[in-house]
């Protein structure tokens, strides 16, 4: 399984194509490969460290400073030989990166480092073979040493940012116990096919998405959904690959291939989202490109200024090298990708799946959050609270039986509520034919040669107009009518409980000055009672899917930045119209196509977390960008020697230290990003 590239695939917009980044940028980077590169930098660092000691000891300038003298016949050639090894072996990743950037006509990080170390090496070599001046081999060695160290630390921090995703990858169980006839055999997970029956022993990882066919247990899904409490599972319940079985053994019927499993889709989503570019990323790329240009121009200007102001050639070159090194847009190149890597992986662990990065970053702009009611603010479990026959020839049980005939195959919350009641009363549902969904209005079919429909009050009003005398709806109730041959046979009233988390979620949104609206196909009384109880700013009831879209557009025309939450199917048009579409409660059905963000649980608190986490992520990116550019604004003039007369001068090695520290600060700041699950 490939790990995420932390910087986008190398296109003309990306300038932070740095040494270790070569492989990382060009497509995916395998975990083993990443580890090998970390080891490679580590090895080069230690070799250069050992060689730097004699180079420093033999350097005339260091000897002059420390007032000692070590010289022997040909000592300058030994110095040259050792420095050549450091330049070629230690500088190789930078020189190779420079060539690649030139080939891509995309100068960046490697160009700056490659240029700086080459100038230092060529000039110092010339002094050994006759040019008047003092070499700075020791500067070259320490510069390469610090660059290698900086890269090594930076790559380790990148590996850290990918670790959460690795953990998700590791959740994949490698093997499964396949029920084969009357015996069980161990097979590789990726060979499982739909409808296979697998055994999950206590404490094991669940090997595939599936339906429990035998046994009862509790399952820990926290790594996948962020839900900390173990979830009880019994016959006919769904289980997710990667979750951990509790203390019961269960048999599970596999739902689909491994590549379609919820976990695979989570990993793919995180991968895709990390590769996608957002506006902040493009801003960082532009800044890095400018910085590269500024560095090269400033370096040349600095050299010319000092050279023509009666300073030695070595002094002018040293200033130029320092300017170029200090400007390396390392920190800038990492400012956004590191935050992205961490935020995507953390989101996935907390049940927030980000399909569209720009939507996620824009979460900070949300001014109005539109909720779909059923299953988001409410539990979504309808219970039948009363039944009424409206014709003499039907009893309450007949009304229920007719409704059940149509609803038995449906997963809609109302259908589930009706079927639950039928079970309780031991009523046998009859068979229905030609079942068709009336989108947003109900369902129709044929039962015993009669046309039967289960429809909303809105449909009744539309169909029968004023001739229809509506049943009084009590607060909190949802009503459906059962029609036989277009005549009302009876009604069924269901009630849905408000989720306990909804109260807290609405309160937190108001504290952050985000307005709330309830958009529901349900009747006005239910909408009003839910809105009042939760303190929602406005409600719009009895709306059909296409009207939901219009309502969202209306809010946008009033200047609101609208996020819409819905369960995907009938909310699809509105989710697409909203500035940010958030699909909720999709569970294993990750591909809620029209939404930019998918919430695994239907918990409204997750929506609040998402917005606050989006704000925190954006804040981190801005902090990193501000630090990475601000540091250059201060460091560049110092490197150029602006305070030379005051006795303040940065050496190339000090410049490299500052550059590496700046990168490490960006890495640490990125790693401090957290999802607030309060």
Distance CA 95, CA 403 (A): 75
Distance CA 364, CA 430 (A): 52
**Whole-number Cα distances in Å, 549 to 394, 462, 514:** 39, 20, 20
Distance CA 144, CA 337 (A): 25
533 Cβ contact partners less than 8 Å away, ≥ 6 residues apart? 498
Task: Write 223-228 long-range contacts (CB < 8 A, 24+).
Answer: 223/167, 223/168, 223/171, 223/349, 224/171, 224/262, 224/263, 224/266, 224/351, 224/600, 225/351, 225/600, 225/601, 226/349, 226/350, 226/351, 226/352, 226/600, 226/601, 226/606, 226/675, 226/677, 227/351, 227/601
Question: Pairing between strand 442-447 and 433-438?
Answer: antiparallel
Distance CA 259, CA 145 (A): 44
Nearest to 370 by CA among 591, 496, 558, 497: 558
**Coil/strand/helix, residue 515:** strand
| DSSP letter assigned to residue 189 | G
**Coil/strand/helix, residue 582:** strand
Distance CA 99, CA 259 (A): 39
- The residues pairing with 443 across neighbouring beta strands, listed in sequence order, are 437, 454
Q: Which of 209, 372, 496, 571 is catalytic?
A: 372
Tokens 């299953």: give the residue: 375
Nearest to 443 by CA among 413, 406, 478: 406
Distance CA 549, CA 659 (A): 50
The Cβ of residue 9 has, within 10 Å, a number of other Cβ atoms equal to: 12
- Has 496 been annotated as catalytic? no
Rg of the chain's alpha carbons, rounded to an integer? 33
Distance of CA 673 to the CA centre of its chain: 12
**Residues classed as catalytic:** 372
């Amino acid at each position: 399984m490939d790990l995420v590239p932390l910087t986008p695939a190398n296109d003309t917009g990306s300038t932070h194509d740095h040494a270790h980044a070569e492989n990382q940028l060009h497509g995916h980077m395998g975990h083993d490969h990443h580890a090998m590169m970390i080891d490679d930098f580590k090895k080069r660092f230690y070799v250069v460290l050992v060689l730097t000691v004699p180079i420093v000891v033999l350097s005339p300038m260091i000897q002059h400073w420390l007032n000692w003298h070590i010289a022997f016949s040909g000592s300058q050639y030994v110095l040259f030989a050792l420095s050549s090894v450091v330049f070629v072996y230690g500088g190789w990743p930078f020189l190779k990166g420079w060539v690649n950037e030139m080939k891509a006509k995309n100068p960046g990080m490697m160009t700056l480092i490659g240029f700086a170390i080459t100038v230092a090496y060529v000039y110092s070599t010339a002094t050994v073979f006759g040019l008047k001046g003092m070499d700075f081999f020791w500067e070259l060695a320490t510069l390469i040493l610090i660059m290698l160290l900086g890269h090594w630390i930076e790559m380790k921090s990148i590996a850290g940012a990918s670790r959460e995703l690795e953990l998700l990858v590791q959740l994949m169980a490698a093997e499964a116990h396949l029920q084969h006839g009357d015996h069980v055999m161990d097979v590789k997970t990726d060979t499982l096919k739909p409808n296979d029956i697998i055994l999950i022993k206590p404490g094991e990882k669940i090997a595939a998405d599936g339906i429990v066919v035998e046994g009862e247990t509790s399952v820990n899904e926290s790594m996948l959904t962020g839900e900390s409490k173990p979830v009880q599972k019994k016959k006919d319940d769904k289980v997710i690959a990667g979750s951990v079985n509790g203390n019961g053994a269960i048999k599970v019927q596999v739902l689909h291939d491994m590549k379609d499993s919820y976990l695979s889709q989570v990993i793919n989503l995180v991968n895709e989202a990390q590769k996608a570019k957002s506006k902040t990323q493009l801003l960082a790329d532009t800044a890095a490109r400018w910085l590269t240009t500024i560095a090269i121009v400033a370096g040349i200007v600095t050299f010319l200024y000092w050279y023509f102001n009666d300073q030695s050639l070595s002094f002018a070159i040293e200033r130029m090298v320092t300017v170029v090194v200090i400007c390396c847009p390392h920190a800038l190149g990492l400012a956004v990708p590191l935050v992205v890597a961490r935020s995507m992986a953390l989101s996935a662990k907390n049940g927030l799946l980000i399909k569209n990065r720009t939507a996620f970053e824009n979460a900070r702009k949300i001014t109005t959050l539109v909720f779909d009611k059923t299953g988001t603010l409410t539990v979504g479990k309808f219970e039948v609270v009363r039944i009424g026959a409206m014709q003499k020839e039907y009893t309450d049980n007949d009304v229920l039986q007719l409704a059940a005939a149509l609803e038995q195959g449906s997963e809609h919350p109302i259908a589930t509520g009706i079927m639950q009641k039928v079970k309780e009363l031991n009523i046998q549902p009859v068979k229905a034919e030609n079942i068709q969904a009336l989108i947003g209005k109900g369902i129709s079919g044929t039962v015993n040669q009669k046309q039967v429909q289960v429809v909303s009050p809105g449909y009744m009003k539309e169909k029968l107009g004023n001739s229809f005398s509506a049943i009084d709806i009590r607060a909190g109730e949802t009503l459906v009518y059962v029609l036989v041959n277009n005549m009302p046979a009876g009604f069924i009233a269901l009630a849905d409980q408000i989720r306990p988390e909804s109260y807290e979620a609405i309160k937190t949104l108001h504290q952050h000055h985000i307005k709330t609206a309830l958009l529901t196909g349900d009747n006005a009384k239910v909408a009003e009672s839910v809105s009042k109880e939760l303190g929602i700013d406005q409600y719009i009831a009895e709306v059909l899917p296409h009207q939901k879209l219009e309502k969202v557009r209306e809010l946008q025309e009033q200047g609101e930045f609208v996020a819409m939450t819905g369960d995907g199917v009938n909310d699809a048009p509105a989710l697409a119209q909203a500035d940010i579409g958030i699909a909720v409660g999709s569970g294993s059905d990750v591909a809620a196509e029209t939404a930019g963000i998918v919430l695994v649980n239907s918990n409204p608190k997750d929506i609040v977390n998402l917005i606050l986490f989006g704000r925190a992520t954006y804040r981190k990116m801005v902090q990193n960008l501000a630090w990475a550019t601000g540091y250059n604004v201060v460091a560049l003039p110092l490197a150029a020697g602006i305070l030379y007369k005051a006795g303040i001068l940065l050496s190339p090695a000090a410049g490299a230290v500052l550059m590496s520290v700046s990168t490490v600060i960006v890495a640490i700041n990125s790693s401090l990003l957290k999802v607030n699950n309060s």
